[in-house]
Structure formats: C-alpha cells, structure tokens
Structure 1
Amino acid sequence: MRTTGAVAPSGRALAHTLTAPVRSRAPRPLTVLEAGAGTGAVTRALIPQLPPGSSLDVIDANPRFAARLRHLVATAPHPAAGTGTHPRVRIDVHHTRVEHLDTDRRYDVIVSGLPLTNFTPREVETIMSRFLELLRPGGTLTYFAYRGTRTARALLAAPAEARRHRAVDEIMAGYRRRCATDRHTVWRNLPPAHVWQLRRPLSVLPAPRPAATGAAR
C-alpha cells in the first residue's frame, strides 16, 4: 500500500471507467499515455480499445512492474492492423517517472494510475503540471482516488501525514475546479473509487497557487 497506493490491482469496472475517453474518441487514431501502470490491470483493458494507427506509451517507475508490463505488451493480442494510413497500434513501455519522460509527443488521452495521495504536495504539483503539458489542448486526463481515504488518514495517521494528505487533496480540488468534466463512482472495485476526467483547456491555464510544504512520503 505504501509504495503502490493500492491493496489490489484495479478491477475491471475501474479499468473500464478509466479508459472511457479512449472509447469516446474512437475510431480515429489516438496518442495515449498510461502513467503508473503497475501490474498492467488497466493496460490489459486499454490495448483492445485502441483504434488502428494509435500509439500507446506505458510508464512505471518500478523496475519489476516495467519488466512485467513489457511481457504483457509482448504477449497481449493487439488490435488488428488497419489499411492505408491506419497501421497496427504501436505500444512502448518506459521505465521512468512521468516527470522524466523524454518525449515530444502530445497525447489525446492520459490514464493515470499514480497514487497521488502517497506523494508530497510539491511532487503532486510537478506531476499535474507535467500531465497538462503532455496533453493536447482539449485532451483528457483520467485518474482515480479511493473513497474514504481522507477520513481514514485523519483518524489513523500521524498529524504530519494527515496534513500532507489534506494538502494533496486541496491541490487536486483546485485542478478539478478548473478542469473537471465528469466524475464517476466505481463501487465494484476493492476498495470503491472515484474516477475524475479533467480536460486541458484550449487556452492557457492560470498558474496554480504554490503548494503547501508537506511531509516526505
């Protein structure tokens, strides 16, 4: 839980909800990024939904997960090749953090499995700024958070840990106020989770307020 932010891989219902923007933008080819892919539960759901001619970058900072993801991509059935200007989907796995991803590509959809509540407020600001930088204008970011974690940490965590969690919640609430287009609650997951969709505006976002200093994770 401390390193992955989860007690179990994402369930099928959660993976289905996280990947909804891919389905809504089909059938045109898409550029898609999955950040914090973990053991590949969402990756497995994502690959069959990619329209022909799409590209998918899958990243995880954990070397064991990255190796597992490479094996998954090598063995998973890919969407059938298209014709003309719509070739087979391209999928690349990167062992890195999203802040360090070396790419000039801009994405139509970013699916995040990163455990944002495990990071410091400063790290969360860096990650979210990078996500918005990587999205095309009008592109969509989906991410999730487990229900009840704030209450649980307020009751059970040390004061510094509870303050850090509140600061991260405030940062994400600010992004939701400016960018959120949808929210779903996925009850058929362990534990149940909220899924948000954020859209990068066509115009430049105002600079976010400085994050409060939080305790190290």
Structure 2
Amino acid sequence: MIGIIIPAHDEEQLVASCLHAALSAGRHKGLCGEAVEVLVVLDACSDSTTDIVTRFPVGAISVSVRNVGMARAAGAEYLLARGARWLAFTDADTRVAEDWLFQQLEQQADVVCGTVAVDDWSEYCRFAEPLQKHFRDTYEDADGHRHIHGANLGVCSLAYRAVGGFAPLESSEDVALVNALLAVGAKVAWSAAPRVVTSARRMARAPAGFAAALGIAVGTLSQTAM
C-alpha cells in the first residue's frame, strides 16, 4: 500500500482542492491498481477543515500540537502500521499532479525530493509580478535541483524507519529528514518529474516554511524599489 500524508491546520479554503488532486493521483493507471490511502492529520483546526475532510473518502486523525514535524510523523506512523511501503507527503495548500505518485515511484530511489510551482501570486498585490519574476529567475525547477519541500516529498518505509522519521520541528522537518537519510547513504532522487502546485500565501503556517521564504523575498524587493 502507498500512503499519502497531508498535515492541515485551518485549511478550509484549500483542503478540498488538495484532496481532489491527491485522490486523483492515487487512481493513476501507472500504479497498476495498488491500494493508496490518503490521510489528513488535522492539527488543532478551529475552522471548518475537519468538516470538509469528512466529505472525502480519506482517513483523518487529530492532533493538537501546532507542529508540522510531529503532525507528519503521526501520519506516517499511522500509515506504516497499516502496511504502507511508500510514504508520500504533501501539504493542504498544495495540489499534486495526476501522475505525482507514479513519478515518485518511477525514480526508483529511497527518497524523492520534488520541486514546487505557484500559479497564483495575487496575494502580493503590487509585488505579485516582480515576485513571480524573482521566483522564476532564482528557483531551479529541473532534475538535479537541491530543494527540499514537505509539499513534494516521498520516502520508502524502510528508509524512513531507519532514521527514526520526522523530528518534532516546527519548521524544516523535511530538511532534517532528508539530511538524516543522506547521512546513512540513502539514494535520493532530486527530481522535477513529480509535480505540485502550492499556494503563495502571505500567512505562513510554519515559521520558516515556503511562505516565510517568499516574505523574505518580498522584503528584499521592497527595499530595492525604495
């Protein structure tokens, strides 16, 4: 079985499109009918995220930690106990491509680190266009990149268990996991083949996540414009 783990904290605006995409990826013909289970880890949700998730044929567990590393780890342990051989991680503000899982497995690696794309920069108002250009000019979206995103990450269960899984970090839990896997000689595929589209929102869920990085970029752009 293949497991998809999606941590979510107050994602009522985006979680439905995330789940539609994840379920579609689980039905890809290249998986040859292998079972795929989608699990949402509801972390201290106070909006309607939980109600929305219950409308989908997915699993859900609840935690109250406000910690993405702990949420991912809880989801991984749940699906490992159910027999998952491969763990695929994304985020609730992200839409994975229909062939996302298939492309992860096609890399024939212990770990697959994918890239991210953004299709809506409108939250940044007057900085939307320069930020989009900055991202396009500075972000390497090609095989051989060295990006690590929890929104586009896959790991085989044996490798995951070998390093003890995700550390209980509020940010950069994905980086810590991949570094631990590299340290034990795991085969890592730095691939642009598994595609995801993520949000460019201003309000970060993780203190040092993708939204925070975009905020730093906007700060730099605003100083340049002064």
**TM category, shorter:** 0.3 to 0.5
Specify which structure has the bigger relative contact order, considering alpha-carbon pairs within 8 angstroms and separated by 6 or more residues.
2
Provide the TM-score with structure 2 as the length reference. 0.34
